[in-house]
Structure 1
Amino acid sequence: MTPVLSPGLSSTSSLTSPTLSRAASSVQTLAELIVSASSTSLVEVPAQVVREEGLRHAKLKLDARHYKKPSFRLQLLEVLRKLHVRGWSTAQIPPDDIVIQKVSGALTNAVFFVSCPTVPGTRTLLLRVYGPSSGSLISRPKELHILHILSSKYKIGPRVYGTFDNGRIEEYFDSTTLTSADIRDPQISRWVGARMAELHSVDIAAVYGAQSFPQNEKNGGFEIAANVESWLPPAQAVLNMPNVPEELVHEFDLPRFKEEWNRFLTWVLKRPQTFGTRRVFAHNDAQYGNLLRLKDDSEGVDEHRQIIVVDFEYAAPNPAAYDIGNHFHEWSANYHCPTPHLLDPARYPTLEERRNFYASYIRHAATISEDPVLEEQDMHDLMDQLDKDVLVWGAASHAGWAIWGIVQARDDVEAGVTEPEFDYFGYAKGRMASFRKDLQGLGI
């Protein structure tokens, strides 16, 4: 899920009001959240210079704190010229005519929309300036590489126009972010299912290389397993801090959780391999704030492609059923209510709603793989099996976000915040309770 109060709008590109994002001010990626399993503290370090083969780079830095100053506009124009951004690099643009709208600002990112209404041909851009601590919290090279491969090879997500020493310039989509109500709409849900099928068709080796994310008996080559293992030490370090209430430490009981997780992982990896458990390139955070709908429908384009998926910081290999199950749990969330940290199980999609999603997902997956059209009975059988896998792997979603929430609470604990903007401990408690309830239901 992605909640901070990063007044952030998912990652990318819709000119809408600020939204609550689970990718908090201190952490914004799943795959590289923790630098090493032995880490017990997160140290602020200067942002690294990140480049990607095939992308232009400008050897300049921007200070996001000064975005309202004329000097910032001049530096930004120089970056755009060096990157040869279409419309911006050749036109004579008065710096005073540039409109810079701040979308979010946190330790991880400062995000801006950049436009110049007075000069025809200048497209609105998304400017991302990396925060000083982001290099210690996420893998910028990996994130940039994923974005570039997905946009250039698969036409998924925003195009990256180029990089500079502490940030990058991205494509802007004239769109609106989906709401908690939108993802429940049957048609929109089918579109999301189709888009997820397309994402799951991405060749893992094309993104990471043939030797990346090797499969092994311990974790199946699944990122969620590797992440939980890596996050447990830093999560325990947070709970060991002197101002964390003892009853909270007891409720989480991380030694017990570790045993429970290992039992679950051993059991789930021994299940038969199915369509739903195949290892795919997964988004892993398909919550409504990371799904955009284009405002201007393009003629001749498949209607489901008006849904744009953004925020790939969490993307990594996982079971298809994990990604779908995680999305369904996000149906239970409302990050724009008085208690954004609480999931409402009553909002979890019904069997009819899940099958509506599955039908679209399966049909598009079959089309992409050029499989013959499924018979009606085969479709029903495949949906039944997929639903079983989704309910099983949904437990892993609860487990991962529970430990993530504990790690995320660190900043508030260190600062002695008693009424945080987003209650990460409360969020983690809910996900932990749901994980343990699922284990009981599965008989594990």
Structure 2
Amino acid sequence: MATDAIDLLPSHDNVLYCDDAVNPDLPTEAMYSQIRKLSRYFVKSWSHFDDNDLGVAPISGGITNLILKVFVKGSNEEEQPITIRIFGPYTDEVIDRKRELQAILSLSAEGFGPKLIGLFANGMVQSYINARTLEPVDMSRPEIAALIAKEVRRLHETEIPGSREPQLWRDIQKFFDKASVISFEDSIKQKKYEAISFDEINKEIKKLQEVSDALNAPVVYCHNDLLSGNLMVSEKSNKLHLIDFEYGSYNYRGFDIGNHFNEYAGFECDYSLYPDKKAQFHFFRHYLHCKGSQEVSKIELEALYIETNFYALVSHLFWAIWGIVQARYSPINFDYLEYFRLRFGEYKRRKDEFPFLEKNCKVES
């Protein structure tokens, strides 16, 4: 694991580097001691503090990385906390770290996410955002949905270094290739795995890709993982923050929005919470004309509705296959094979809403 993260980001004057790693398998206090040592290195004004002076607290949000806040105990507002993000083991199986780290400096410069302070062997140090992480139920609130729509549009209008080719099908194929050749020591997991038809999944991928090509949807820089844990709101300023761009890339606009709508269901996959057409149109109005009150035409709304809901369908397949890979490699106590079953089940249920999938993959105009 050594210096992989460091090697992936070109030298930059404002980014510090450290060869040390944090071992998340250590007892909590021993791990926190390593984190405090890193913090003293990255924040030079903390170099004289000892372990008793620095507090460490976990931050909730994702199911991939360990995220912690480090702060000076009893400090005034001049001593800003920092965030330590420790990459989960085997996350390179599902995350393109090189792509993430190449984009992060530009994203930070444009005001997206926390500022990158430095890299260590298995993670990164960032500024701390004093805001509340959203819960799934928050995203359906009209005032929050409007904030999200405007910030997503701002992201989609931002130029970020990297390939301008949509990465969706490349990433799906990467997950599929990994998922189709794994095995499990756990006999129960192996039995569930053997029941998966990869021929069926592969046929669905090809069908969806043909429809996607026919749609010719706009390609923009996307977050690709707009779940509630990656959205924060500052209650005082009413500012919405997008964080954790691990899956960020140039991609289809509709995928980012449709994927976000799927996340209304939370990890429990309660798809009765998927936004109806009225709620989606509310989001679209703020997305399409986020800088003014210009009326949005019915044609614009309907076109984005078709685009978004098609890619919401693709999103189910994307994360279903991702779930198989995570079931094999992730040490997190989460039933990823059940997550696959729920996502693929919802995909099969919802694909009937798109009759053109079975009509020579032609999109009706």
**TM class by smaller structure:** 0.7 to 0.9
Aligned residue among 249, 253, 266 for 2:210: 266
Aligned residue among 20, 35, 38 for 1:76: 38
Determine whether 1:284 maps to 2:229.
no
Determine whether 1:223 maps to 2:167.
yes
The structure in which a higher percent of residues are helix is 2
User: Which residue number in structure 1 is paired with residue 298 of structure 2?
Assistant: 380
CA shift, 1:156, in A, is 1.0
SS at match of 1:229: helix
Counterpart-to-counterpart distance in 2, 1:191 and 1:74: 35
CA shift, 1:232, in A, is 1.5
User: Which residue number in structure 2 is paired with residue 39 of structure 1?
Assistant: none
Return the TM-score normalized by structure 2: 0.84
One-letter amino acid matched to 2:206: N
User: Which residue number in structure 2 is paired with residue 123 of structure 1?
Assistant: 80
Determine whether 1:317 maps to 2:250.
yes
Q: Is the 8 A contact 1:73 1:95 kept in 2?
A: no
Counterpart-to-counterpart distance in 1, 2:41 and 2:249: 31
User: Which residue number in structure 2 is paired with residue 97 of structure 1?
Assistant: 53
SS at match of 1:408: helix
Counterpart-to-counterpart distance in 1, 2:183 and 2:318: 16
Aligned residue among 112, 116, 122 for 1:160: 116
CA shift, 1:228, in A, is 1.5
Q: Describe the superposition over 1:278-331 as per-residue Cα deviations: whole angstroms up to 9, x where unpaired.
A: 00111111111111111432xxxxx4xx11111110111211111111111111
User: Which residue number in structure 1 is paired with residue 339 of structure 2?
Assistant: 427
Determine whether 1:329 maps to 2:262.
yes
Q: Per the alignment, do residues 107 and 157 of structure 1 end up closer, same or farther by CA in structure 2, a change over 3 Å counting?
A: closer
- Structure 1 gap ranges (5+): 1-44, 214-220, 298-302
Determine whether 1:348 maps to 2:254.
no
SS at match of 1:439: helix
Q: Per the alignment, do residues 48 and 382 of structure 1 end up closer, same or farther by CA in structure 2, a change over 3 Å counting?
A: same
One-letter amino acid matched to 1:350: D
Q: Is the 8 A contact 2:172 2:318 kept in 1?
A: yes
CA shift, 1:241, in A, is 7.1
Determine whether 1:171 maps to 2:111.
no
- Structure 2 gap ranges (5+): 358-365
Q: Is the 8 A contact 1:48 1:135 kept in 2?
A: no
Q: Describe the superposition over 1:198-226 as per-residue Cα deviations: whole angstroms up to 9, x where unpaired.
A: 111111xx321xxx25xxxxxxx322211
Q: Per the alignment, do residues 169 and 253 of structure 1 end up closer, same or farther by CA in structure 2, a change over 3 Å counting?
A: same
User: Which residue number in structure 2 is paired with residue 207 of structure 1?
Assistant: 161
User: Which residue number in structure 1 is paired with residue 323 of structure 2?
Assistant: 405
Q: Is the 8 A contact 1:47 1:130 kept in 2?
A: no
Q: Is the 8 A contact 2:83 2:128 kept in 1?
A: yes
Q: Per the alignment, do residues 402 and 166 of structure 1 end up closer, same or farther by CA in structure 2, a change over 3 Å counting?
A: closer
Counterpart-to-counterpart distance in 1, 2:63 and 2:262: 28
Q: Per the alignment, do residues 165 and 155 of structure 1 end up closer, same or farther by CA in structure 2, a change over 3 Å counting?
A: same
Determine whether 1:145 maps to 2:89.
no
SS at match of 1:169: strand
Q: Per the alignment, do residues 237 and 308 of structure 1 end up closer, same or farther by CA in structure 2, a change over 3 Å counting?
A: same
One-letter amino acid matched to 1:198: R
Residue range with higher mean Cα deviation, 105-114 or 141-150: 105-114
Counterpart-to-counterpart distance in 2, 1:169 and 1:247: 39
CA shift, 1:60, in A, is 4.3
Counterpart-to-counterpart distance in 1, 2:152 and 2:63: 30
Q: Per the alignment, do residues 106 and 61 of structure 1 end up closer, same or farther by CA in structure 2, a change over 3 Å counting?
A: farther
Q: Per the alignment, do residues 57 and 141 of structure 1 end up closer, same or farther by CA in structure 2, a change over 3 Å counting?
A: farther
CA shift, 1:246, in A, is 4.9
Q: Per the alignment, do residues 130 and 401 of structure 1 end up closer, same or farther by CA in structure 2, a change over 3 Å counting?
A: closer
CA shift, 1:106, in A, is 11
Counterpart-to-counterpart distance in 2, 1:330 and 1:278: 22
Task: Give aligned-pair identity as a percent.
Answer: 23
Q: Describe the superposition over 1:316-375 as per-residue Cα deviations: whole angstroms up to 9, x where unpaired.
A: 121111111111111122x4xxxx3xx2222111111111100100112xx4xxxx974x
Residues 174-253 of structure 1 aligned to structure 2 (within 5 Å): 174-203=130-159, 206-208=160-162, 212-213=163-164, 221-238=165-182, 243=187, 244=189, 246=191, 249-250=194-195, 252-253=196-197
CA shift, 1:167, in A, is 3.2
SS at match of 1:331: helix
CA shift, 1:111, in A, is 2.8
Q: Per the alignment, do residues 131 and 290 of structure 1 end up closer, same or farther by CA in structure 2, a change over 3 Å counting?
A: closer
Counterpart-to-counterpart distance in 2, 1:309 and 1:439: 30
User: Which residue number in structure 2 is paired with residue 293 of structure 1?
Assistant: 233
SS at match of 2:181: helix
Q: Is the 8 A contact 2:156 2:220 kept in 1?
A: yes
Number of residue pairs matched? 348
Q: Per the alignment, do residues 286 and 66 of structure 1 end up closer, same or farther by CA in structure 2, a change over 3 Å counting?
A: same
Cα-Cα RMSD: 3.0
SS at match of 2:100: helix
Counterpart-to-counterpart distance in 1, 2:64 and 2:92: 8
Q: Is the 8 A contact 1:180 1:331 kept in 2?
A: yes
Counterpart-to-counterpart distance in 1, 2:105 and 2:114: 9
CA shift, 1:143, in A, is 1.9
